[in-house]
Amino acid sequence: IRALISYYGGPNYKLLEQEIQKTFSNWPTLNESFSNGRPVTLEDCGVALDQVREAYQILMELPVNIRANIIRAMMRSVESILKRPGRMLKRKEDIKFLMIILESQYHHQIVQRVFGLLSNLSNELHHFLVNWFARHSTDIFRKRVELVNLFISFRLSKQPMATVPGGPLAYESDWQINSAARVMALFFAANKQKKKIQISEFYNTRVDYISLIDDFNTWEQRSGKFTFCQYPFLVSMGGKTTIMEYDAKRQMETKAKEAILSFLFQKRAATPHLILKVRRDYLIEDSLSQISENEMELKKSLRIEFVGEVGVDGGGLRKEWFLLLVRHLFDPQFDSRLCWFNPASFESSDQFYLVGVVIGLAIYNSTILDVHFPLACYKKLLNVPVGLEDLKEFRPAFARGLEQLLTFEGDVESTFCRDFVGEYEVFDEIKRVPLKTNGQNIPVTNANRKEYVEKYVNFILNDSVAKQFDPFRRGFNHVCSGNALSLFQPEEIELLVRGSAEPLEIEQLRSVTIYEGFREDEATIIHFWAIFKAMDPMTQRKLLTFVTGTDRIPATGCANLSFKISYYGEDSERFPIAHTCFNQLFLYRYRTKRKLEEKLLRAITESEGFWLK
């Protein structure tokens, strides 16, 4: 293009305009114009994308009056070949021009036709596109995802709002939204292959304003109509949580109706709630036995009664039960402070079943747990393959050792002296398990080291813990078997269980806080928020743990966290206290800000755990 400008430059750019129009009117010519000279493969799209971007930039830097005509001519040509490519796009070489056009300055008509062509390519060509997209820089990749989301938002803004609940979805016949969603699926697959951006960057906030419940119900019917639940990466955590709560409530109501009908027609005592009566001194035993006795009732709304104590469970006792169970059941291992299944465990399968049920019940009853499982656990629950990258999270030193073995340039056999055997510790003794038939007699060499690493990783993450993980998964699935769960990615399930580690939005938390005995504008409350805001992030997390029992916030943010500050008396030398079961902080009306700060800091840094009788 620089050569054309130089050659045809001067007072008349008409010839330049004609040259560009001719090039962009024929996709084989366009492909050849920006070829990088290499064959088209999964790793290389055959297009010099840097030159494409530079060419577009040169055109954008032309004088305004000239640029407008040239860009208009180029857009007309591009739209023409997108409308009528001339023949079916079947070969990987055929679609190079689509990669070129995707780099252009975007116009709605161009974008919709590009998305239409991309979405209707064969699965084989989609495989190539996913690999090419995965090789974009993070910045370019993010811009492409933003483009698709902007287009979807634009199309949704043109749709009439649904007026009849359960009626036809306004967007279900919009081929442009359907095409854009399919294209986004390609970018999402590319991001899974090589992570470029966070899952949250795929969320389309405009989708949260449609009737997600109607969308979910249509999707469940498998009618073949377009729904956003087919492309759940477009639905935010808030939207998915809304669907899950609806699904959970629906199943709870079904169980409640069954209980009432059972009472009316069979004269059999029943309750619409699952009520667990447990003794504090026998928490695990009582919980396990009653869950086993009520397996078919786990989808009822959960209520807890502590034997010998007066109290009605309005949610606080349930949360306390979860918190106490987690403390009894989970013991973080490794330097990473994460929990994993012990292959040498002597606990019964019922114990692991109980853990799975507890995780499922927490999700089902919208309760955050202070559970430190690695992402691999949630991947396995959703049947997503796990590998070396997952092992790095909770056994980083061991994973690094395997990576070093893979990249070692010397003689592996004589240096590492390993055979095809996996190891784990049982009461200070090392147990050796062959990774393949006769593995103890097969040395690890340069030729077979990749197989060895794959088998060892599979041994740690799958085979060695199958006896523990299988009942755990069975317990989880027994509670969380609704269709709503399949909308989530493993990372999102982890967020549901543990909550978010995102920085605290103090002002957002302040806006949803409820006061009891205090006015929002009085000195003690003003001082409290000033102190909270001035704390370093770690101390803020400690305060959050002191009040709520966990340093995490709901996956949907602080705005959905219940937080209450209650009056406990006039100025005192006593420390603030908290009822973690209700996310409730009790403050005295301390005389000065300094005194409030001192008492609060000592309370959150020098106290630990529950002090229950």
Q: Which residues are catalytic?
A: 581
Phi/psi for 553 (5° steps) reads -110, 165
C-alpha span between 173 and 176 (Å, rounded): 9
Strands 577-579 and 584-589: antiparallel
Question: Token pair for residue 169?
Answer: 């979805």
Max CA pair span of the chain: 97
Phi/psi for 587 (5° steps) reads -120, 145
> Do residues 52 and 100 make contact, with C-beta atoms less than 8 angstroms apart?
yes
Paired with 433 in beta bridges are 422
C-alpha span between 358 and 287 (Å, rounded): 10
C-alpha span between 180 and 155 (Å, rounded): 10
Q: Write the DSSP string, 385-413.
A: ---HHHHHHH-HHHHHHHHHHHH--S-HH
Angle, in degrees to the nearest 10, between helices 316-329 and 283-293: 110
Burial status of residue 544 (CB atoms within 10 A of its CB: 0-12, 13-18, 19 or more)? buried
What stretches of 462-606 show up as alpha helix (H) in DSSP?
466-479, 490-498, 506-512, 523-534, 537-548, 593-606
Distance (Å) of CA 247 to CA 38, 482, 489: 52, 7, 17
Residues near 503 by beta carbon (within 8 Å), at least 6 away in sequence: 537
C-alpha span between 25 and 109 (Å, rounded): 16
C-alpha span between 153 and 530 (Å, rounded): 39
